Amino acid sequence: MRRGSRKARKGQAEVIAAMILIPLLIVVFSTITLSMFKTSVTGTSSFASRAKFEQERSSEALQAVWADTACRIINVGPVDVTIVRVWWVNGTYKAANELIKKGGDITKVSLSEGSNPVPVNAIDYAVTSRGRIFPFKTMCEQSQSTTNQNINVYGGVPFTSEEILNMTRLVGTSYADKKIITGVTKDGAPFIPNVSVLYWADYPEKDWYLNSGSGWVKDIDAYATIDPKALDPDLDNNGINEVTIVSVTSGGLKLTPISLSGKSDGSGSSINYMVNITFVNLLRTRDYVDVITVYFKLVAYLSTNPTKQITVGTAAILQRGVNSAFASGTVAVGSYAAPGSSGGSIFTVTGSIIFPVKAYDPYRAVIVENEDYNLTLSFTINIPSGSANLDNLRIEYVAVTGAELKWKP
Amino acid sequence: MKGQADLISAVILVSVVLVMSISFLGYASSLLSQKTAESDLNNLLQREAANTLIYREYEDEEGGVLYLGVVRVDGTRGTYYYLAVNKTYCSINGAINGGYFKGGVLEVSSSRVYVVTSSGQYVPLSALAPSLSTVPLNPLLHEGGNELLAVGDFTVSLNPPSTPNCLAVILFTQVGGDYYEVGRYYETWE
Domain boundaries defined on chain B:
1-50, 52-188
Residue type, A315: A
Q: What's the topology of domain B52-188?
A: Immunoglobulin-like (2.60.40)
Q: Tell me, what's the pLDDT at B90?
A: 61
A350: pLDDT confidence band, cut at 50, 70 and 90? confident
A154: pLDDT confidence band, cut at 50, 70 and 90? very low
Residue type, B163: T
Which has the higher per-residue pLDDT, B148 or A204?
Answer: B148
pLDDT at A364 over 70: yes
**Going by DSSP bridges, is the β-strand pair A254-257/A225-226 parallel, antiparallel, or unpaired?**
parallel
Which chain B residues have a beta carbon less than 8 Å from that of A16?
14, 17
pLDDT at A184 over 80: yes
Q: Tell me, what's the pLDDT at A268?
A: 75
Which chain A residues have a beta carbon less than 8 Å from that of B142?
none
Q: Tell me, what's the pLDDT at A153?
A: 33
pLDDT at B159 over 60: no
Of A6-20, A155-169, A335-349, B2-16, which range is least confident? A155-169
DSSP element (H, E) containing B30: helix B2-50
Q: State the Cα angle at A367 between A361 and A373, rounded to 5°.
A: 160
* Whether B26 contacts chain A with CB within 8 A: no
Beta-carbon separation of A42 and B146 below 8 A: no
Which has the higher per-residue pLDDT, B180 or B186?
Answer: B180
CB pairs under 8 A between A and B: 91
B85: pLDDT confidence band, cut at 50, 70 and 90? confident
* Whether B36 contacts chain A with CB within 8 A: yes
Q: Tell me, what's the pLDDT at B72?
A: 94
In this complex, which of B36, B57, B146 lies closest to A31 when CB atoms are compared?
B36
In this complex, which of A24, A38, A53 lies closest to B73 when CB atoms are compared?
A53
Q: Tell me, what's the pLDDT at A289?
A: 82
What ipTM was estimated for this complex? 0.80
A24: pLDDT confidence band, cut at 50, 70 and 90? confident
pLDDT at A312 over 70: yes
* Whether A133 contacts chain B with CB within 8 A: yes
pTM across the whole model:
0.52
A158: pLDDT confidence band, cut at 50, 70 and 90? very low
A98: pLDDT confidence band, cut at 50, 70 and 90? very high
* Whether B7 contacts chain A with CB within 8 A: no
